[in-house]
Amino acid sequence: MICKIEALSDRGKVRSNNEDHIMIPNEVFTDGERTVEIENSIIGVAVADGMGGHKGGEIASKMVLERLAVFLKSLELQEEEATFRKEMDTWLEGIHHELLSSGERDNSLNGMGTTLTGLFLNRGSAFVFNAGDSRTYILENDKLTQLTKDHTLDRDTGFPHRKSNMLLNCIGAIRKPFIDILDISHLAKPGSLFLLCSDGLTDMLGDDEIANLIKNNSPKELVAEANRRGGKDNISVVCVKFV
């Protein structure tokens, strides 16, 4: 099975720098566009939206994705969910303390942190994971379904109509982070389309609008429309399609 990955990260129209980073196979990048096709391989893709301090956000998001790429490559084939969950928790503890330590050594980085959402394919297994409010969706029959849960105040209090982007969970910047993990092995099949993004997209566009624009399987139209709406934050989008 061939996996086609299209990724784009954009500063937006308001922010002076891009604190988002994207991880695709063999690269972590920001401010640009990439397209790759991979066949029958272990695949990891992710989006991280950094925050905190002068340059702290972009450092945090890049550091987390660079460490994540190394970690995912180290995993054995045919990963079981319980094993993957345990190893992810161990990795999370390590990178979280690394961010905190960096902030202690350099006061300009104190309080830096990042959200994270990712998709990991390991032969017959597939997992979605997230910390914070960066999201992973699946598009099925022209309907967009969010697979991750936002770790924000409005979601946690049960009052989603009272919009609040206050994060209750991220890597770095808080005392104890966590990662939600979902086994989506049954969804990773020919024709499946997954979308990963930072909140710079979802704060500008609703799910129905995203679904209508993503039918062409390219992040370009999504980013362009988010910028037309104001581009109030950095925008990162990854489309993953199984051909």
Q: Regarding predicted confidence, which is higher, 157 or 39? A: 39
pTM of the model: 0.94
CA 85 – CA 179 distance, rounded (Å)? 9
DSSP state of 97: H
DSSP state of 215: G
Alpha carbon of residue 41 to chain centroid: 20
- What integer pLDDT is reported at residue 161 of this predicted model? 52
Q: Regarding predicted confidence, which is higher, 87 or 165? A: 87
Sign of CA dihedral 101, 102, 103, 106: positive
CB neighbours of 18 closer than 8 A, spacing ≥ 6? 9, 10, 11, 12, 30, 31, 58, 234
pLDDT in tens, 206-224: 999 999 999 876 899 999 9
Collapsing DSSP to helix, strand or coil, 170 comes out as coil
CA 125 – CA 174 distance, rounded (Å)? 31
CA 155 – CA 159 distance, rounded (Å)? 6
Q: Regarding predicted confidence, which is higher, 147 or 142? A: 147
Indicate whether 67 pLDDT > 60: yes
- What integer pLDDT is reported at residue 122 of this predicted model? 87
Q: Regarding predicted confidence, which is higher, 159 or 196? A: 196
The answer to whether 43 and 121 are in contact (CB under 8 A) is yes
Nearest to 4 by CA among 44, 27, 38: 38
Helix axes 81-105, 56-73, angle to 10 degrees: 150
> What CATH number should be reported for the domain whose range is 2-242?
3.60.40.10
CB burial of 90-123 (b: ≥16 within 10 Å; e: otherwise) equals ebbeebbebbbebbeeeeebebbbbbbbbbbbbe
Q: How is the chain split into domains, by residue range?
A: 2-242
Indicate whether 157 pLDDT > 70: no
Indicate whether 64 pLDDT > 60: yes
- What integer pLDDT is reported at residue 81 of this predicted model? 85
